[in-house]
Structure 1
Amino acid sequence: MRRSSVSGSSRRPATFFPERRRDVYGFDQPPGDEEDVDAPARQGDELMARMEAAQEHLDKIVATGKGPSRHVTASVDQEGRVLDVTFDPRAMRLGSKDLADEVLAAIAEACADAERQTDEVLREAIPGYDPVAARAELEQALAGWD
């Protein structure tokens, strides 16, 4: 018979998570697997390897977008930094305000494409990753800082 040193009880210690657990990174830990103390370290190593491989793909992302008239094209990297803006000869016929709007629209479209590509890479790298839920959680956490 086991006795708890704190309470003197002869009952078995409670298992805090008896059901199958799944953490945010997609690693399952079945009940009763508490004896494998190295599992979290292995899972962390797996996640780091996946993230390193994903980072290589993320670093190579170049996304493009076009303005509404299709006369302006912009390219951005994964972080949304503008790499290039090109103008079709017909773009020079636009007024300055319209040309500026075309450039901004092309950059916005390129940034949306970069975000889509980034989400795709992260979904492949992290099983169970949901970019929409992750963004919502981040926005909620940031809202608490106001």
Structure 2
Amino acid sequence: MTELTADLYDEHGEDLQSVATQFQSLGGRARFSGPIRTVSCFEDNALVKSILSTPGDGAVLVVDGAGSLRSALMGDMIAESAVANGWAGVIINGAIRDRVAIGALDLGVKALGSNPRKSAKRGFGTADAVVEIDGVSFTPGRTVYCDEDGILVER
């Protein structure tokens, strides 16, 4: 990503949605962008793990965990798998764990916070459907842009 989100918004604001929720930047890469892939799940990260273990080709996985901070939807081993498989980043509307280890990885990570508690592994959830976070639609295939200022999504 070469342009900052503020500059992108100044140039193309009518074509972009801005996420107002104040996600924390927790990965080793503060600036990242790519085509959107999605997961919707609640306190169950089996689908997140499964998808991030496949080739990412520079995509960003957007995980709608309904804002739950009761358990982590990604830890260091899943994040390492994402790096190994070529994912640009992960945005989690929920919590992660292993913040220090994830912060050392070449992976963009935005999340609401952290919790050391593991999530369930039942495989509940849906993949590659439009998810809405804070009134912003994340449509698979469209582009998401992330940096220190926030998150922008193509309309």
TM-score range normalised by the length of the shorter chain = under 0.3
Give the alignment's TM-score, normalised by structure 1: 0.19
The structure whose RCO (Cα within 8 Å, separation 6+) is larger is: 2
Max Rg structure: 1
Which of the two has greater strand per residue? 2
Which of the two has greater helix per residue? 1
